[in-house]
Amino acid sequence: MQIEKNKNSKKRYIVLGAIIALATGSFAVYYFFQHSKQENYINLESPTNEQIKAGSNSKNATVKGEPRDTGNLESDQDNTNTAAGKTPQILITAASQNNNIIQVRSIIQKVTTEGSCTLTLTKDQTIIRKSASVQALADSSTCKGFDISISEFPDKGTWLATVLYEDANGRSEASKNVVIN
């Protein structure tokens, strides 16, 4: 007499494993979609009084043409605005050497594409001048950037970088030292 093994037991384990895998996968998909909805949540409730006040202040500052808060950008710069109240202030935000390129970046505290920018680099009697146009950003503008090869500099050392912004209303400039190695 032979004992017959139940061939259905293997099938049961396979079906049971498939059901568990399907349930786990379904739960994972559900969990993912529930949490991704929370990350993209937009609050559609009425704004608080604090939010209304902050929005009004920001709007009024923009309408009046007040400069935006730039933090500590002015700390080591000499800024001159010869047409105070008309031409926006310009600030040098970066003046440094990056490999074989001297990079000078600036910000104009007004949204505009009008005017022009001139970079003057001086050391002793040597002068290097570059020009750039103005590019508007979301809440300010910038000179399109100055990238100068160090091969254009006859001497290494500390140079004075001065960026001049001119428009129909006047001129504004900022200066900062840049070290060339």
* 99 and 72 within one domain: yes
Which residue among 23, 45, 61 closes a domain?
Answer: 61
* 52 and 71 within one domain: no
- Highest-confidence segment of 7-11, 52-56, 162-166: 162-166
* 92 and 25 within one domain: no
What's the whole-number mean pLDDT along residues 149-165? 92
Which pLDDT value is given to residue 59? 74
Q: Measured in whole angstroms, how far is the alpha carbon of residue 56 from the centre of its chain?
A: 24
With 0-12 CB in 10 A as exposed, 13-18 as middle and 19+ as buried, what is 112? middle
Number of domains the chain is built from:
2
Domain range for 50 is: 8-61
* 131 and 172 within one domain: yes
3-state helix, strand, coil in the chain (%, to 5): 30, 40, 35
* 162 and 86 within one domain: yes
Stated pTM of the model: 0.54
* 84 and 169 within one domain: yes
CA torsion sign, 104 to 162 to 79 to 59?
Answer: negative
CA torsion sign, 139 to 143 to 148 to 153?
Answer: negative
- Using 50, 70 and 90 to split pLDDT, how confident is the model at 63? low
- Using 50, 70 and 90 to split pLDDT, how confident is the model at 81? very low
Q: Which long-range contacts (CB under 8 A, 24 or more apart) does 76-79 make?
A: 76/176, 76/177, 77/174, 77/175, 77/176, 78/174, 78/175, 78/176, 79/172, 79/173, 79/174
* 45 and 72 within one domain: no
* 152 and 105 within one domain: yes
* 75 and 53 within one domain: no
Domain-located, residue 2: no
- Using 50, 70 and 90 to split pLDDT, how confident is the model at 176? very high
Domain-located, residue 50: yes
Domain containing residue 84: CATH number:
2.60.40.10
Domain-located, residue 1: no
